[in-house]
Amino acid sequence: MSVVPPAYYVGLSAILFTIGVVGVLVRRNPLVIFMSIELMLNAANLAFVAFGRAHGAADGQIIVFFVMTVAAAEVAVGLAIIVAIFRARFRINVDDLALMRW
Amino acid sequence: MEWVVFVVVALAAIASALGLVIRPNPLHGALFLVANLFCVAVLYLMLRAEFLALAQVIVYAGAIMVLFIFAIMLLIPGRAEEGPDPLVRARRLALPLAAVLGIVVVLVAGYTGGPAPGAAPGGVGAIGRLLFTDYLFPFEVTSLLLLAALVGALTLAKRREAGGSRPIDSRVAAEGR
């Protein structure tokens, strides 16, 4: 029997999500930005599980399962892109990669 | 007792998330993220989501973070964030905006979710049954997504044979590192 209400888990996930947003906005290293995105995904997962617990349904856990799969695919492709950029230019800084920005 | 565990784990999760954002070395950040993922896995256990806690440790902390650390070791961008920041004013603006976002989200989250119901939402059996009945189509689409990611990553990582860049090892050696 859970003593801690799910609202506290949702609040914690909100805090973690905000920290992830700060990481994406403030850092310049694409790998750290990527890890901050993972942090945000993880916070959203925690909120899903907490809501599923609040409603007594397992559907939230299924969604988290799918989010994990999508995160794995995203990391594989994203890291391949970062490695390819690094190979082509040898220094990675997201502010230098303004080629496709108008 | 459960409150004690929750507070300790929540503080550890927040501290490790802050460590990821603050520490300049991305390798330290990756290890902080591993700690954060473990903390969230403990929270999953407390929410009676045993399957997700195990999947979190195996898939996230096991597979995805190994991929991250492998990329960090391959690229060695430990000194990447040096020199003057061209966007320093925009970055200063990011902190108060993020603070406003955090306050709003926490306030909204405070109004959601009531007391926990008595019955836990099933175990691994319930998840498996749901996954292969109601969510069968998204499950199959997921396999397609993984295949596309596999092919995409291989295509991106493939070295161009003619007229391409030099191998990365000789470049690192030429850099005199």
Q: What is the pLDDT of residues A33-85, one digit of tens each?
A: 899 999 999 999 999 998 888 887 788 889 999 999 999 999 989 888 888 87
Please give the residue that has the higher pLDDT: either B171 or B152: B152
Q: What are phi and psi of B132, to 5 degrees?
A: -100, 5
Contacts of A45 (CB under 8 A, 6+ apart): A64, A67, A68, B40, B52
Statement: residue A1 has pLDDT above 60: no
Q: Name residues 90-119 of chain B within 8 A of A (Cβ).
A: 91, 94-95, 97-98, 101-102, 105-106, 108-110, 112-119
pLDDT over threshold 90, residue B85: no
User: Is the Cβ pair B109, A13 closer than 8 Å?
Assistant: yes
Q: Which amino acid is at B120?
A: A
- Report A:49-78 residues touching B (Cβ under 8 A): 49-62, 64-66, 68-77
- How confident is the prediction for chain A on average, in pLDDT? 84
Residue A7 touches partner B, C-beta closer than 8 Å: yes
Helix axes A30-55, A6-26, angle to 10 degrees: 170
Domain count, chain A: 1
Q: Please check whether residue A48 is in contact with residue A40, taking contact to mean a CB–CB distance below 8 angstroms.
A: no
Print the SS3 string covering chain B. CHHHHHHHHHHHHHHHHHHHHHCCCHHHHHHHHHHHHHHHHHHHHHCCCHHHHHHHHHHHHHHHHHHHHHHHHHHCCCCCCCCCCCCHHHHHHHHHHHHHHHHHHHHHHHCCCCCCCCCCCCCHHHHHHHHCCCCHHHHHHHHHHHHHHHHHHHHHHCCCCCCCCCCHHHHHHHCCC
**Containing structural domain, residue A74:** 6-96
Cβ contacts (< 8 Å) between B117 and chain A: which residues? 53-56
**Which sign, positive or negative, has the C-alpha torsion B107, B113, B114, B116?**
negative
Q: Is residue A101 part of a domain?
A: no
Q: Is the pLDDT of residue B117 over 70?
A: no
- Assess if residue A89 is contained within a domain: yes
What is the model's pLDDT at position B80?
53
Q: Please indicate, yes or no, if residue A69 is contained in any of the structural domains.
A: yes
Q: Is residue A53 part of a domain?
A: yes
Place of tokens 């794995």: A72
Question: What is the per-residue pLDDT across B23-71, written as a single tens digit (0 to 9) for each?
Answer: 888 888 999 999 999 999 999 998 888 889 999 999 888 888 888 888 8
3-state secondary structure of A99: coil
Tokens representing residue B48 in the block: 């009676």
Is residue A1 in some structural domain?
no
Please give the Cα distance from B128 to B146 (Å, whole number): 20
pLDDT reading at B162 higher than 60: no
ipTM of this complex prediction, to 2 decimal places: 0.87
Which residue out of A68, A95, A96, A97 would a mutagenesis test of the B interface target, given it has the greatest number of B Cβ atoms within 10 Å?
A68
Do B109 and A70 lie within an 8 Å CB cutoff? Answer: no
What is the average pLDDT across A81-96? 72
Mean pLDDT computed over every residue of chain B:
80
Kindly report the pTM of this predicted structure: 0.82
The whole-number average pLDDT for the span A3-19 is: 86
**Confidence grade of residue B92 (pLDDT, cut at 50, 70, 90):** confident
Q: Does B77 touch chain A (CB under 8 A)?
A: yes
CATH architecture of B1-80: Up-down Bundle (1.20)
A48/B contact by beta carbon, under 8 A: no
